[in-house]
Amino acid sequence: MSSALPRVRLEEVTHRFGDVTALDGVSLEVLEGEFVTLLGPSGCGKTTLLRIVAGFERPTEGRVILGDEDVTRTPAHRRPVNMVFQRPTLFPHLD
């Protein structure tokens, strides 16, 4: 068992888009030095979860903790997180 502290911790994260529940009580710990892969079919909540960690979405319920800081309400530009999109969604005209 590792004594490393979690660098990313999600506690009971739930996210709803209107009546649709995209994430329901997701809890996850990623320790320093670990690599984690999210796998699942289209529409299962992978991107929503990553957007919540990055700060582009706020969870309906639950907490996002980076290191020892609760960043659930911290805006994306103040988080030590980077996100690379699969497609150039920021500048669609460059596709």
- The answer to whether residue 79 sits within a structural domain is yes
Position 28 scores a pLDDT of 96
Take residue 93 and report the two structure tokens written for it: 């005209």
- The answer to whether residue 14 sits within a structural domain is yes
- Looking at the DSSP assignment, which residues form a beta bridge with residue 68? none
* Domains identified in the chain, total number: 1
Domain that holds residue 31: 6-94
- The answer to whether residue 1 sits within a structural domain is no
CATH code assigned at 72: 3.40.50.300
What confidence tier does 82 reach under pLDDT thresholds 50, 70, 90? confident
Burial (0-12, 13-18, 19+ Cβ within 10 Å), 22: buried
Residues 6, 19: Cα–Cα separation, whole Å: 32
- pLDDT, tens digit, 9 for 90 and up, residues 56-71: 999 999 999 999 999 9
DSSP E strand boundaries for the chain:
6-17, 20-31, 61-66, 69-70
- The answer to whether residue 72 sits within a structural domain is yes
- The answer to whether residue 24 sits within a structural domain is yes
- The answer to whether residue 47 sits within a structural domain is yes
pTM of the model: 0.83
- The answer to whether residue 10 sits within a structural domain is yes
